[in-house]
Amino acid sequence: MIKLMLVVVSAFLLSSCNETVDNLYKKVMPKPSVVAADDESTKGGAAADDESTKESVIAADGSKFKSSGNGFAGSNIKSTSTPISPEQVAVADLKSSGVKFTLYFSFDGFGVDDAATKEIIKHANFMSENPKLKLRLEGHADERGTREYNLALGENRALAVKEVLGLYDLSSRIEVISFGEEKPIAQLHEESSWQKNRRVEFIYE
């Protein structure tokens, strides 16, 4: 009789344990997140949520970038190209026409001969037609002579050119500067190089 009672109690306890385990298993099991294919209402709700999510993302993107037709508005990219003024175009045209922008001088000389005078007159006419332009005359000398002498010689050459331009009432728009022997364009120590260094250059501004 006692053995029978032990068997019954043991069976009862085992059944209770199995039930408890089953309940715990159900509680900790993750719920399925997949929507059933035949649940149309649930599908519609999920689609609506997706659409609203897309709209919110688009709205967020639209607040950051605004198209102006030529790229994004508010861009920090700046153009590196410098606009060309009408005066710069005019100077380029003058150069391409063959007018000389450099005049050369004889050794120790600063006189302006007839050929140089004709070139200076072309510049005078050009300046008269372009009243906004100013001109800098840069005088140079070769390496022979002292530094002070060559500075004075370069200045005299530039002043001689300015004197011709002054006949056209252009003196107020002309600056004279001398570099003497400091900026040679030819480096050899012989006559062909010295001839190139004895010069006055026309620099328009």
pLDDT tens per residue, range 122-169: 999 999 999 999 999 999 999 999 999 999 999 999 999 999 999 999
For residue 147, give both structure tokens: 């530094």
| Residues 142/197, Cβ–Cβ less than 8 Å | yes
Is residue 150 domain-resident?
yes
Instruction: Report the domain count for the chain.
Output: 1
CATH number, residue 149: 3.30.1330.60
For residue 59, give both structure tokens: 């709205």
- Provide the b/e sequence for 187-205 (b: ≥16 CB within 10 Å): eeeeeeebebbbbbbbebe
Is residue 20 domain-resident?
no
The model's confidence at residue 4, banded by pLDDT at 50, 70 and 90, is: low
| Residues 119/100, Cβ–Cβ less than 8 Å | yes
Domain that holds residue 108: 86-204
At 202, which helix (H) or strand (E)?
strand 199-204
Pick 130 or 43 by higher pLDDT: 130
Is residue 76 domain-resident?
no
Is residue 51 domain-resident?
no
Instruction: Phi first, then psi: give them for residue 55, nearest 5 degrees.
Output: -65, -40
- The share of the chain scoring above pLDDT 70, in percent, equals 60
Q: What is the model's pLDDT at position 83?
A: 83
Is residue 92 domain-resident?
yes
pLDDT tens per residue, range 96-122: 999 999 999 999 999 999 999 999 999
